[in-house]
Structure 1
Amino acid sequence: MLLSAPLTCLVVDDNEMNRLNLEHLIELTPQLELVASFANGLDCLNFFTQGGQADILFLDIEMPQLTGLDLVRILPVPPPDIVLVTSHRDYAVDAFDLSVSDYVVKPVELPRFLQAVQRVVKGRQAAPAATKPQASLAASATENEFLFVKVNKKLVQVRLDDILYIEALSDYCVLVLDKQKLIVYSTLRRIEERLPSPRFVRVHRSYIINMRRIEAVEDHIVQFAKVEVPVGKSYQEGFQRQLKEF
């Protein structure tokens, strides 16, 4: 990791031993600098609302009054890079919906901790501060090559290049890939926020397409192999502009 200055860090965990362990791991990592450590989410929220700043937030999930997931959803914009730390794997789906930088299961040991830090560094290199996404879901808007989605209560990794288009289906979405279709429990809007733009474009209230996979455009129809996707009237002007600029 080549950094011009250490990344500033916060630790939030209501368990003192876990909190001290994270503080120790930060101390062992020259690229990191601990700014503050909190025993609850409310104190952390107050830190940010009073103008405090940090590059990375190492955050426990299960805490009284304000859980880690709730804290992520209400952090001031722009939020820090977030590494969720928990004793349970059951929160993985919620974590990926929030597009945090990493999800680490306790007890946290140095090799796994350094891996999480490396992911944060790579994400920052891919998305400079001037253009860093400002929504909690938007960490996936960097040019990652895959997306995790929830299929039948299981997280499935999907290569972005394999996606032809995504279709809304009530509270679900259908990811149409080269060789299969995946039914995902998510709204189209939530999926859209996790996809890199202008690579993926909304062309209809019910469709998002992969611009790299378009084979032809005729009238108001986008063609992918033998499949056709309509372009909604209100999306036509923006889509034509995206075609010229892509």
Structure 2
Amino acid sequence: MMTCAIIDDDEINRLTLEHYVELTPNLKLVASLADGIAGLTFFREGNKVDVLFLDIEMPHLSGLELLRVLPDPPEVIITTARQDFAVDAFELRVTDYLVKPFEFARFTQAVQRVASRRAPAAGAAAPAADSPTSADLFVKVNSRMVRINFDDVLYVEALSDYVNIVTPKHKYIVYTTLKALENRLAAFPNFMRVHRSYLLNTQHIESIEDNTANLSGGHFVPIGKSYQEAFFKGLQRI
């Protein structure tokens, strides 16, 4: 779960962003503010968030001016009607730049970019239950938190903004990216990226034929051409 704040002087835009946040399972809204001065006060009072959705053109203090005076800004997603501020914004190391009006799909893409950037740090600070001594992980499936033992996972397939985690008995559609999950599973050597759309648990391979891994239970996973050399080097074989 990532905390977030919105700073935008346009009420309609704020309401739209608030609605998008409500639709996003891994985001929690902490503050929705109407101008840069309110935003500056929010951060100077010691408040912190993981993600800031920030408009640029605002009275008294613009979004870029706010970024320049914040000593330790969070991940920033610019939300603006102007394209010509992009160069200045990226010089301030913003994560993404959304030009209004933008659709929910583009909003989701920006949030995923933040999650991917944060994933290695989050993994390093993970509690003991998610360390290499435990293969259990809780994932959010619809409105439920489900415990999955990754020793049981056959493979993970990318599905646009989601992933499909496949076990012998179940398929779990989870709102995350394949890259973020790959980073989370980096401590488990049995998981290998074998295709731009697949992570594979090598423990469940029964045979390999024509660059296709045949898994227990009649499942098949393709091995992408650019992944084949690393994959076959990683297998214990004679």
Can you give the 5+ residue segments of structure 1 that lack an aligned partner in the other structure? Answer: 1-5, 132-246
The change in CA–CA distance for 1:125 and 1:75 in structure 2 (over 3 A counts) is same
Aligned partner of residue 113 in structure 1, secondary structure: helix
CA distance in 1, matches of 2:5, 2:64: 16
CA contact (8 A) 1:58 1:82 kept: yes
- How much does 1:130 deviate? 8.2
Report the counterpart of residue 96 of structure 1 in structure 2: 90
CA distance in 2, matches of 1:73, 1:130: 29
Is 1:11 paired with 2:3?
no
- How much does 1:126 deviate? 4.0
Give the letter for the 2:71 counterpart.
P
Is 1:24 paired with 2:1?
no
CA distance in 2, matches of 1:65, 1:102: 24
Structure 1 residues 19-67: Cα deviation after superposition (integer angstroms, max 9, x where no partner): 1000000001010000010000111111111111111000000001000
CA distance in 1, matches of 2:120, 2:69: 25
Is 1:120 paired with 2:140?
no
Aligned partner of residue 58 in structure 1, secondary structure: strand
Give the letter for the 2:30 counterpart.
V
- How much does 1:76 deviate? 3.2
CA contact (8 A) 1:49 1:76 kept: no
Give the letter for the 1:59 counterpart.
L
Moved over 2 A (4+): 126-131
CA distance in 1, matches of 2:16, 2:48: 22
Structure 1 residues 53-89: Cα deviation after superposition (integer angstroms, max 9, x where no partner): 1110000000010000011111132x21100010011
Pairs within 5 Å for 1:25-44 = 25-44=20-39
CA distance in 2, matches of 1:49, 1:130: 28
CA distance in 2, matches of 1:130, 1:47: 29
Q: How many residues align?
A: 125
Cα RMSD over matched residues?
1.7
Can you give the 5+ residue segments of structure 2 that lack an aligned partner in the other structure? Answer: 126-238
CA distance in 2, matches of 1:74, 1:65: 14
* Percent identical: 56
- How much does 1:128 deviate? 5.2
The change in CA–CA distance for 1:44 and 1:129 in structure 2 (over 3 A counts) is farther
The change in CA–CA distance for 1:129 and 1:102 in structure 2 (over 3 A counts) is farther
Aligned partner of residue 62 in structure 1, secondary structure: coil
- How much does 1:125 deviate? 1.8
Aligned partner of residue 82 in structure 1, secondary structure: strand
